Amino acid sequence: MIHPTAIVHKNAEIDSGVDIGPYCIIENNVKIKKDTKLIGHVVIQGRTEIGENCTISPFASIGGPPQDITYRGEDTTLTIGDNNIIKEYVTINRGTKSSGGITKVGNGNFLMAYVHIAHDCKVGNDVIMANSATLAGHVEIEDFVIFGGLCAVHQFCKIGKYAFISGLTGVPKDVPPFVIAAGNRAKLYGLNVVGLERHSFSKEEITKLKKAYRILFRSSLPLTTSLKIIREELEGKHINELIDFIKSSKRGICR
């Protein structure tokens, strides 16, 4: 259903079951898949694709041009997956040509009021971002990350899966998977044990990750030595993910 006050471009592709509420504006090249609901006063711009069964609350601005002084009107993209909840005043910008031209948001995410996802970000699945959490450009968020309110992540940072970022935290470097980060300039405060338990990590897996955390971040050993020790002494999928994340970091790791 399309409310009579909504403005929908004739070339927009709107699937069956989409509900577009009052005073929404849907521009050219937008694609909205079935059973997605725009409650009202939502603006969707540019080459933006929104998946199935999403709910977008009033005054969200989706697919606007990137806030990048190098942007010159290039035809770039935003893709949003299925089953996302996007609350009031959320802003998500399209990508820039110089960085691949795409901003991407996965499936099952919960983006609370005033969240901002900037150009060229990659957000995974089942991510929760509390009110006013903010991602600068080129940030990558892996699956099952939780952000407290009023967080800010520096451009080009990466947050590993199952990490918890406490409220009022500024993130200047990469945050490894499975940990808690907090502070004006984020520091690590242990393993995200509660989050891991909620996602059915076994006691054995959590014990291994705790030991790896102590060796990596609470010993006086050089990082390269710590990585070698945990690779030799600890085994498992999650240990390997932790090692690979740290070794691939370009901005350095929050400690």
CA 149/CA 112 separation, integer angstroms: 9
164 contacts 141 by C-beta, under 8 angstroms:
no
- Match 């090692």 to its residue by tokens: 243
CA 82/CA 68 separation, integer angstroms: 27
137 is catalytic: yes
CA 183/CA 173 separation, integer angstroms: 12
| DSSP secondary structure, 179-199, as one string | EEEETTTTEEEEE-HHHHHHT
**Catalytic residue from among 51, 124, 137, 195:** 137
CA 140/CA 251 separation, integer angstroms: 12
171 contacts 249 by C-beta, under 8 angstroms:
no
119 is catalytic: yes
Of 167, 165, 168, 166, the closest CA to residue 157 belongs to 165
252 is catalytic: no
Of 33, 41, 34, 29, the closest CA to residue 3 belongs to 41
**Catalytic residue from among 46, 63, 95, 119:** 119
**Catalytic residue from among 120, 138, 154, 195:** 120
User: Which residues are known catalytic residues?
Assistant: 119-120, 137
